[in-house]
Amino acid sequence: MDSESGSRVNAPARVRVRRRTDRDLGACVRVLAETHERDGYPVNWPETPGAWLTPASLVASWVAESDGRVVGHVGLSRSGAGDAAPGVWSARTGVGVDATAVVGRLSVAPSARGRGIGALLMARAVAEARERGAHPVLDVVASDVAAAALYERLGWRLLGTVEQEWGPGRKVAVRCYAAGS
């Protein structure tokens, strides 16, 4: 407490997770750009980042807000042709890929990290997938060890590592995860 004003000094800002609106897209692109500059995610910067955050397969998305400012984003999508995790999960469980929901497009502004924002966003996406009767899965570039560590801390199970074709003559190793029970 500040002795003169009675107010908290350096109090942590409250974080709120809510559905993303169209008005949030510019702020989400800003967070994504900061993430790309700091961490190289996404590996290939999209020509139209707003469209990348809003794929046709998207069923829901959320933002994290701190002090009225968007500081994070996550989406939940139906399985698509480029998603490795649903196929790996399906092969392991014998259940069709249509029983999965893909968690993706997770980014947290570098200035807002270390406050559990990624975990809050992931929890919201997992809850929505389960409400829809789907099993949450995701894939992450194998070289993104920080993201893999987050997922493992949150109880996600590594299903395996596979190679994906990301363009002519370009293969990338991705780690496939499924949410824990």
pTM: 0.89
Mean pLDDT of 156-173: 90
- Each residue of 106-116: pLDDT tens digit? 999 999 999 99
Using the structure block, give the residue that is written with the tokens 């490795």.
Answer: 84
CA of residue 158 relative to chain centroid, distance: 16
What is the 8-class DSSP label of residue 7?
A: P
In whole angstroms, what is the distance from residue 150 CA to residue 117 CA? 11
- Each residue of 136-160: pLDDT tens digit? 999 999 999 999 999 999 999 999 9
β-partners of residue 178 are: 137, 157
What is residue 81's predicted lDDT score, i.e. its pLDDT?
A: 76
Mean pLDDT of 172-181: 93
- Each residue of 20-29: pLDDT tens digit? 999 999 999 9
- Each residue of 73-88: pLDDT tens digit? 999 999 987 789 999 9
- Each residue of 3-12: pLDDT tens digit? 343 434 444 5
What is residue 12's predicted lDDT score, i.e. its pLDDT?
A: 56
